[in-house]
């Protein structure tokens, strides 16, 4: 008689183990399915991130090219008309100086022409003054030669101090302005303490902020 209850207990144990095995199998299948879903999600997420990065890169490249093309065309047109200084630099320069240095210009003039004692004619693209601070700007549609910068700093700036009487006693700050400023030109201008101004349509901005900060400190003294 004791054998029958024992067999029943064994049968129940087998059933329980079988059920447990089945549940474990179901759990394994669910876990495997979940893991696969997570892998698929991660792969899809990574794919979307790659696409977004690629689209952003393409967009930025297109925007950069569009801006470069616009600046080039604007520069070519303005250069042909000979009005870069008058139409682009002169209108925006007072706002640029006020924004970065807090100075209001007392006067500004374009294409200042003067003769030296030997009768040689000199021309300065833009001359602006605020109190005892004067800015001389050399403007070119494409400032791509170191020789341009050397001539400006070594010849034109000293001549401006010598030949322009209204700048007597002024601290003279040299600036170069262009639609296309080569990085090497900006770097050398910075070494010389010359402000580099980028032209974009009717918008002006400094390219070498370290020089801006240095001049700002000098002005405050």
Rg (CA), the chain: 36
Mean pLDDT for the stretch of residues 117-133 = 94
Average pLDDT value over all residues in the chain: 82
The domain locations on the chain are 1-81, 84-220
Tokens representing residue 174 in the block: 């040299």
Tokens representing residue 221 in the block: 């003294």
Residue 197 DSSP SS3: strand
Q: What's the rounded Cα separation, in Å, for the pair 134 and 106?
A: 10
Residue 192's pLDDT is 95
- Indicate the pTM of the whole model: 0.64
125 close to 101: Cβ distance less than 8 angstroms: no
Query: Which CATH number is 84-220 given?
Result: 3.40.1350.10
pLDDT tens per residue across span 28-80? 666 567 667 767 777 787 788 777 777 777 877 777 676 666 666 665 655 54
Share of the chain above pLDDT 70, in %: 73
5 pLDDT exceeds 90?
A: no
43 close to 51: Cβ distance less than 8 angstroms: no
pLDDT tens per residue across span 157-197? 999 999 999 998 899 999 999 988 889 999 999 999 999 99
Residue 24's pLDDT is 61
Mean pLDDT for the stretch of residues 111-128 = 94
């Amino acid at each position: 008689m004791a054998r029958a209850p024992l067999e029943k207990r064994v049968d129940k144990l087998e059933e329980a183990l079988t059920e447990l095995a089945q549940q474990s199998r179901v759990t394994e299948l669910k876990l495997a399915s979940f893991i696969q879903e997570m892998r698929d999600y991660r792969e899809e997420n990574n794919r979307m991130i790659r696409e977004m990065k690629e689209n952003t890169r393409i967009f930025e490249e297109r925007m950069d090219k569009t801006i470069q093309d616009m600046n080039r065309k604007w520069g070519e047109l303005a250069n042909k008309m000979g009005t870069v200084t008058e139409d682009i630099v002169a209108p925006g320069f007072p706002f640029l100086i006020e924004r970065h240095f807090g100075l209001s210009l007392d006067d500004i003039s374009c294409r200042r022409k003067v003769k030296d004692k030997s009768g040689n004619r000199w021309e300065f693209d833009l001359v602006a003054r605020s109190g005892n601070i004067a800015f001389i700007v050399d403007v070119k549609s494409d400032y791509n030669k170191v020789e341009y910068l050397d001539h400006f700093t070594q010849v034109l700036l000293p001549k401006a101090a010598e030949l322009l009487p209204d700048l007597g006693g002024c601290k003279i700050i040299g600036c170069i302005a262009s639609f296309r400023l080569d990085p090497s030109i900006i770097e050398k201008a910075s070494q010389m303490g010359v402000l580099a101004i980028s032209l974009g349509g009717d918008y002006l901005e400094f390219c070498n902020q370290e020089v801006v900060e240095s001049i700002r400190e000098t002005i405050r003294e």
